[in-house]
Amino acid sequence: MKKITVFFVCLFMTGVSVFGFQNTEIDYDAIYKIKDEGLNNSQVMDIAWNLTDRIGPRLTGSEGLKRAYDWTSAEMKEWGLSNVKVEAWGEFGPGWGVKKSYLAMTAPYYQALIGIPKAWTPGTDGEIEAEVVYVNIQNESDLAKYKGKLAGKVVMLPTTASAETTFEADARRLTDEQLDGMMSARVSNANRQFSARRVSDFRRRAQLRNAAYQLFKDEGVKMVLATNRGGQGTFFTSNGARRDPNALPEMEISPEHYNRLVRLAVKGEPIRIEADTKTVFQREDLKGYNVLGEIPGSDPKLKDEVVMLGAHLDSWFAGTGATDNAAGSAVMMEVMRILKESKIPLKRTVRVALWSGEEQGLYGSRNYVQNTFMKNGKPNSAHEKFSAYYNMDNGTGAVRGIYLQSNEAVRPIFQEWFKAFEDMGASTVTIRNTGGTDHQAFDGIGLPGFQFIQDPIDYGTRTHHSNMDVFERLQAADLRKNAVIIATMVMQTANMDEKMPRKPKVFESLNRSR
């Protein structure tokens, strides 16, 4: 086994502490085995196919996610992973799913409309046929104009969504310039600042929508139509995160179809629609679950310490959640398969987690870290024995590097490890934070949690919460590569001399809170 040992001094450009020397041996023999298994015998696309085409959409609480719990845990057991379990993290609430989705304009002429019921809304209870009313409100006083006029109607509100022709490619990769910019970035504030004006505008619009929605209920509206961004047959869903038990039937439709109805209404053309939607609520099991599996540590002294990796298994439901996040789930499962199959000794225990409830607020991971690493609001011994968590949830694109999540102490370690992947285009280590997914659950309780820089491909333009987040959008070569890189990161973390350095600031605040 050839090893190259590198010693270095941690230099803190933004902090004051010095942790001192840290061993970051790069295990090129192990990497060779990982590359061989991950590139020449990859199963990542087969895993991803099962999660998407075969299992389908995986909304938290749905039949689809239940199938995914069953299948992923069965696979992990078949691969010989240890302690495989589908573990409840707490109560999520009722599950929901679509059983029929049909909507068409019938006047001034027939046009089937591309759309889907909004999450956690009821169906139409059989086919309905109704006039469409465009409720053109700019402020609450406008609502009075519609009182007594909406019973039995289908309503639409003004939208800013458009679907302009684009002269830019849907999909792209990060350029060298963009990566250089990330490399040289300083610590960023993870919270974007919104102007007071913007916040008050947002509140005003939300209030107006709520007032309109109340009017619709009071009036006895049959259905609400809505739209979001998208175009050319792609539509993004807003996802009805509220899970309002008294919601009206509502459909989210493609912007071109929505805006055609709006334009016709504004010109005074009578519009009628027919719709037949059926949705089901699952109330038998209100709990949410995570799927867990392990490769036990081989070093008697270190096997109680844990390195984790994960991705969320749940998805939205208009597509099959291919890039969000069958991609991450498939890669993390493949990482475990590669590590198990290649029989590389791992000193620390390696544990994979496939989360649920991520799309509603990182519920699976946030509850897991509370249940596992905290007791009465304070870190427990498992917190002490934890090294690092790696997450993948930035779509299908190739890993190009990693976000340090403001943890400067980790920079030299990751810089060293990524040297093994310069030929794969992955070498950018940025101090920046990235948010919006499950590594934040770990970061939030002072544990090192990381997520990777990935090529965006068409995540923002086509797939992220859209009806077209489907198998075709997965980039096979990228996912194979990602599994190899992440398997290496996990292997190195499992076998390094010390646990992963933590952020000093978080330690201090945790110490203060004891």
**Cα Dmax for the chain:** 81
| Residue 464 binds to a copy of itself (criterion: CB under 8 A) | no
Identify the residue among 79, 471, 505, 510 touching a copy of itself (CB under 8 A): 471
Identify the residue among 51, 59, 81, 114 touching a copy of itself (CB under 8 A): 114
Stretch that binds a copy of itself, among 18-26, 130-138, 361-369, 472-480 (CB under 8 A): 472-480
| Residue 102 binds to a copy of itself (criterion: CB under 8 A) | yes
| Residue 457 binds to a copy of itself (criterion: CB under 8 A) | yes
| Residue 383 binds to a copy of itself (criterion: CB under 8 A) | no
Contacting residues for 424 by C-beta, under 8 A, at least 6 apart: 398, 399, 481, 484, 485
Cβ atoms 202, 160 nearer than 8 A: no
How many residues line the site for a copy of itself (CB under 8 A)? 61
234 vs 372 by CB, closer to a copy of itself? 234
Residue 155 token pair:
């309503």
User: What does the alpha-carbon distance between residue 408 and residue 501 come to, in Å, rounded to a whole number?
Assistant: 9
| Residue 282 binds to a copy of itself (criterion: CB under 8 A) | no
Question: Residue holding tokens 């960023």?
Answer: 188
| Residue 82 binds to a copy of itself (criterion: CB under 8 A) | no
Stretch that binds a copy of itself, among 264-272, 373-381, 383-391, 428-436 (CB under 8 A): 264-272
Q: Where are the alpha helices (DSSP H) in 28-92?
A: 28-40, 44-49, 63-78
25 vs 276 by CB, closer to a copy of itself? 276
Least separation in angstroms between residue 454's CB and a copy of itself is: 14
Q: At what angle do helices 476-495 and 28-40 cross, to 10 degrees?
A: 150
Instruction: Give 169: exposed, middle or buried? Use CB within 10 Å, 0-12, 13-18, 19+.
Output: exposed
Walk across the sheet containing 428-430 and list its strands: 82-91, 287-295, 349-355, 306-312, 386-391, 449-454, 399-403, 428-430
Identify the residue among 31, 33, 35, 56 touching a copy of itself (CB under 8 A): 56
Contacting residues for 253 by C-beta, under 8 A, at least 6 apart: 103, 113, 114, 115, 225, 226, 227, 235
Identify the residue among 95, 97, 123, 501 touching a copy of itself (CB under 8 A): 97
Identify the residue among 77, 99, 287, 375 touching a copy of itself (CB under 8 A): 99
Identify the residue among 18, 19, 23, 54 touching a copy of itself (CB under 8 A): 54
Among residue numbers 314 through 353, which ones bind a copy of itself (CB under 8 A)?
Answer: 320
Among residue numbers 159 through 218, which ones bind a copy of itself (CB under 8 A)?
Answer: 162-173
Question: Residue holding tokens 């085995």?
Answer: 33
Cβ atoms 118, 252 nearer than 8 A: yes
User: What does the alpha-carbon distance between residue 383 and residue 370 come to, in Å, rounded to a whole number?
Assistant: 10
Stretch that binds a copy of itself, among 96-104, 134-142, 297-305, 365-373 (CB under 8 A): 96-104
Identify the residue among 260, 303, 385, 505 touching a copy of itself (CB under 8 A): 260
Identify the residue among 204, 263, 283, 419 touching a copy of itself (CB under 8 A): 263
31 vs 470 by CB, closer to a copy of itself? 470
Identify the residue among 25, 36, 63, 285 touching a copy of itself (CB under 8 A): 63
User: What does the alpha-carbon distance between residue 230 and residue 175 come to, in Å, rounded to a whole number?
Assistant: 25
Residue among 407, 239, 312 at smallest CA distance from 72? 312
Residues forming beta bridges with residue 99, ordered by sequence position? none
Binding site for a copy of itself (CB under 8 A): 49, 53-57, 63-64, 97-102, 104, 108-112, 114, 116, 162-173, 230-235, 254-256, 259-260, 263-264, 267, 269, 276, 320, 457-458, 462, 467-468, 470-473, 475
